[in-house]
Amino acid sequence: MRSAMNFKFGAGGNFSSVNDMKICFKVIAEDFNKFLRNGVDVSFLNFNSLGEMSRFSASELNKFAFCLDGGLLCLFARAKGLWVSRVSFDFTSIASSVFHYCEREGRSVFIVGGTREDAERFEMKVRSLFSGLKVAGVSGGYLSDQERNQLICSDQLRSADVLIVGLGAGRQEQFMLDARAAGFTGFGISCGAFISQTARTQGVHYYPQLINSLRLRFLYRMYREPHTIRRYVLNYPLNIIRFVMGKYCFIRC
């Protein structure tokens, strides 16, 4: 990655030089494909996950490169001087290009997320679209501590080239950190609810084309997944206020 460059409300080129009151994230503001390589962990930010990720230490956050997967957050970032477009790990954005890359380069994929049935159904759908994809393994995300530790330390996961984790903001990033500490050396990427959404949808597109075109994904998700209403009604406004007040700092990577 290039040396970090702050936009105007950040200070310095690394976390140690940033005021402790700020929570800083390295943000991908150029070609995502440049980050598709071993040793890189990518996750995603919106005005809900900003709050979840703020629970991590600066040194832990520094191990990730983040994309902005919320259109509203992209607008606020641009207002602060960082020109960035929405990127999300789903079939409205980069998921297909990542799977095509893995298929073309012969990179094996390990998938974690949703229930066991979700993970298996997701694998079947992905294999139907990318017949040459090497799947090293799949696992549901609802695991006991013992099962989680066994999975993270398994040779099957540690030897995979790409790790895709969909456990929700916070839990998926912790899983990726733990997998890295246990010996995983490939490319890691989070995907939120993508695995369960795709598994439970007829076809592979969770959002209807019209909803996606009108950028009304948040309304559709509240309708389909009522448990997400809280994050849009409470978490979003709170983190918008924090962003405007300078609580969060984005650093170009």
How confident is the model over 205-246, as pLDDT tens digits?
888 888 888 878 888 888 888 888 888 888 999 999 999 999
Pick from 58-67, 121-130, 195-204: least confident: 195-204
Residue 1 — pLDDT band, cuts 50, 70, 90? Answer: very low
pLDDT of residue 238: 95
Residue 10 — pLDDT band, cuts 50, 70, 90? Answer: very low
Residue 206 · residue 198 · CB < 8 Å? yes
Q: What is the pTM of this model?
A: 0.87
Only one residue has tokens 């040194």, namely 59
- Chain-centre distance of CA 99, in angstroms? 15
Three-class secondary structure of residue 99 per DSSP: helix
**What CATH number is given for 23-28+41-204+232-252 in this structure?**
3.40.50
Percentage of residues of the chain with pLDDT beyond 90: 75
Only one residue has tokens 């990518």, namely 42
